[in-house]
C-alpha cells in the first residue's frame, strides 16, 4: 500500500512494478528517485509549475550549510511532541521542497519512538525528486497542495513550511483531532538583507493565529542571526525568497555587489488541531 489515491478517480493507487495503478487502470510511473508525478495537466498553471531546477538546487545548497538549523530543530521537535503518543503516525509534508525539513522531522519522530508513514508533496517535480533522493523511506509526489492525492481523514499530522495555505484540503485529509503545523516568516526575518537591497524595506506582516476549522494550540518563535561570508550563499538565500520573483534591476545590482552579509532570521511555528465541528 502507498496511501496515495488516483488524482483522476480517487481510487487507491497500488504498486505495479515501477508504477502506481488504480482499479480503473490509471497508471503513474515512478522516477528513478522513487517519486511519482500525480499533478494533472489541468492543475498546471505554468509550463514548469513551482520552483525550477536551479532554484531547488540553490535552496538545497543554502540549507545544507546549516543556516536555518535552529528552525529545523525547533520545527521537528514540535512535530514530534505533537504526535508522540501515536506509534505509527501518518504524516504529510505539504510543500516539502527538496526535503531538508522533511528529513529533520522524520529523524525527530523516529528518535521519539515513532515509526511514521511519511508522505511529501510539492508542485515542483524537481523538488519532489530531490526530496525522494534525500528521504528514502518517504513517499514523495509532485502534486498541488490544493488537490492532495490522499484520502479523507488519512493523516495524523500535516505540516506546511513557507508553502501556500490550503486549509480546506488540509482539514479534509486530517483525521479528527489531527494536528496541523505551519511555519511562517517572522516580522523581522531577513531585515538586513532587505535593507541592503531596497530603499524602503518593510517588515513582514504576522497575522492573527486564528484559522477556520482549526483550534490554535501553540506558537513558538525562532530568532537568530546568520553570517553569510560569500556572494554565492547570499544569492542562494535571495533566490529562496519571494523577493526574487519581483526584483528590480537596481536590487539585482545591489545583490551582486554584496560580498558578505549578516542578517536576522525570524520564524513563527504555529501548531493547531483540527476542530471537531
| Residue in 244, 181, 252, 183 with CA at minimum distance from that of residue 217 | 181
| Residue in 66, 63, 69, 75 with CA at minimum distance from that of residue 108 | 75
Span 132-146, pLDDT tens digits: 999 999 999 999 999
CA distance 11 to 5: 5
How distant, in Å, are the alpha carbons of 97, 215, 218, 275 from that of 210?
A: 26, 8, 11, 12
Q: 211 versus 206: which is more confidently predicted?
A: 211
73 grid coordinates: 530543530
Span 36-69, pLDDT tens digits: 999 987 777 667 778 889 889 999 999 999 999 9
247 grid coordinates: 526584483
Average pLDDT across the chain, whole number: 93
Quote the pTM value.
Answer: 0.94
Span 62-110, pLDDT tens digits: 999 999 999 999 999 999 999 989 999 999 999 999 999 999 999 999 9
Percent of the chain predicted with pLDDT > 90: 84
pLDDT at 246: 77
CA distance 225 to 266: 9
| Residue in 183, 192, 123 with CA at minimum distance from that of residue 159 | 183
Backbone angles phi, psi at 118, to 5 degrees: -105, 125
For each of the domains in the chain, give its residue range(s) and CATH number, in order of start. Answer: 49-274 (3.40.50.150)
Amino acid at each position: 500500500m502507498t496511501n496515495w489515491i488516483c488524482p483522476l478517480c480517487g481510487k487507491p493507487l497500488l504498486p505495479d512494478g515501477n508504477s502506481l495503478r488504480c482499479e480503473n487502470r490509471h497508471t503513474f510511473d515512478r522516477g528513478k528517485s522513487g517519486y511519482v508525478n500525480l499533478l494533472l495537466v489541468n492543475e498546471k498553471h505554468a509550463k514548469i509549475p513551482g520552483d525550477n531546477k536551479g532554484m531547488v538546487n540553490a535552496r538545497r545548497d543554502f540549507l545544507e550549510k546549516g543556516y536555518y538549523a535552529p528552525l529545523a530543530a525547533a520545527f521537528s521537535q514540535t512535530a514530534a511532541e505533537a504526535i508522540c503518543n501515536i506509534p505509527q503516525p501518518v504524516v504529510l509534508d505539504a510543500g516539502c521542497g527538496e526535503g531538508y525539513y522533511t528529513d529533520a522531522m522524520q529523524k525527530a519522530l523516529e528518535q521519539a519512538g515513532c515509526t511514521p508513514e511519511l508522505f511529501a508533496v510539492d508542485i515542483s517535480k524537481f523538488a519532489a525528486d530531490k526530496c525522494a533522493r534525500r528521504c528514502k523511506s518517504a513517499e514523495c509526489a509532485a502534486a498541488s497542495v490544493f488537490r492532495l492525492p490522499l484520502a479523507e481523514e488519512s493523516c495524523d499530522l500535516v505540516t506546511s513550511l513557507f508553502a501556500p495555505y490550503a486549509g480546506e484540503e488540509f482539514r479534509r485529509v486530517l483525521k479528527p483531532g489531527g494536528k496541523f503545523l505551519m511555519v511562517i516568516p517572522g516580522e523581522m526575518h531577513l531585515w538586513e538583507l532587505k535593507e541592503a537591497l531596497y530603499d524602503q524595506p518593510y517588515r513582514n506582516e504576522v497575522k492573527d493565529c486564528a484559522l477556520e476549522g482549526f483550534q490554535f494550540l501553540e506558537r513558538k518563535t525562532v530568532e537568530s542571526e546568520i553570517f553569510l561570508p560569500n556572494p554565492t550563499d547570499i544569492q542562494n538565500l535571495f533566490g529562496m525568497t519571494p523577493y526574487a520573483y519581483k526584483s528590480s534591476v537596481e536590487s539585482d545590482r545591489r545583490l551582486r555587489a554584496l560580498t558578505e552579509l549578516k542578517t536576522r532570521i525570524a520564524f513563527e511555528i504555529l501548531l493547531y488541531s483540527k476542530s471537531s465541528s
